[in-house]
Amino acid sequence: MAPTTAALETLHRCGQAISRSDSDISSKILDAQQQLFFGLVKGGYANDAFSGGRGYSNNGGYRRNGEWLLTPSPKEYVADLEHEARWCLEVAKILNSDPGRKEAAKQVLASIATDLDIKVKDCKDWGAGRLVTVIASTMKNGQPDPGWTVMYKWVSVSGLNAMDLAFPKVSTPTSQGVPPGVYSVYPTKQVGNTVVKTPPITVSAFQNQKVKCEIPVP
């Protein structure tokens, strides 16, 4: 649980650091951080208005009396949160010290606040720190076309240099668990000496337990 707590503490510092530079974004980040702390670490929300989701009705890892959760979030979820928290603090420094990049920094921080809000709503509805299963099928002329390596990249936060990662098996279909967020998904295939890559599609991986997507290939 310590890595999750540390990431949330970093987000708190980020929100505090920009309180004078942009009070609106600061407030959104600090509110999301507080909600995630109660959802991911303490098993409840500070505001009871947020406590009616499926995470509670299905016992999704929560304890309404605010005791510490014994089961940590998936490692992929925690790594995602850590990455976002570090980036938030780094961009906060740019916002406060570099007037020439102030507007760009605001856009990144606003995107971070939006992504954290996605995590808050997902945590409220489904339970503490879950992964969403993305099921990708590669299709040619309306028929399954196997043998493609499907890649995905987290694009929820503008300006964040997220890594391109591969689904564990070639298509089709193929599936991968990802933290709640928005992703760019595209297939690649070695054809002779050439690597064929299709244009990416955007996949919103939240709200549902599983998300299916069909990707046209040549």
Q: Write down all domains in the chain, each with its CATH number in brackets.
A: 2-126 (no CATH), 132-216 (2.60.40.1120)
Nearest to residue 63, comparing CAs of 84, 78, 45? 45
Q: Please state whether beta strands 149-154 and 181-191 pair in parallel, antiparallel, or not at all (unpaired).
A: antiparallel
Phi/psi for 101 (5° steps) reads: -115, 20
Q: pTM surpassing 0.85? A: no
Mean pLDDT of 113-119: 92
Average pLDDT for residues 124-141, to the nearest whole number? 90
pLDDT band, very low/low/confident/very high, at 129 (cuts 50, 70, 90): confident
The answer, yes or no, to whether residue 47 has pLDDT greater than 50, is no
What confidence tier does 52 reach under pLDDT thresholds 50, 70, 90?
very low
Distance, in Å, from the CA atom of 162 to the CA atom of 217, rounded to the nearest integer, reads 24
Residue type, 55: G
Using N-to-C axis directions, what is the helix angle for 23-36 and 102-126, rounded to 10°? Answer: 30
pLDDT digits (tens, 9 = 90+) for 149-203: 999 988 766 556 567 899 999 999 999 999 998 999 999 999 889 999 999 999 9
Q: How far apart are CA 160 and CA 157, in angstroms?
A: 6
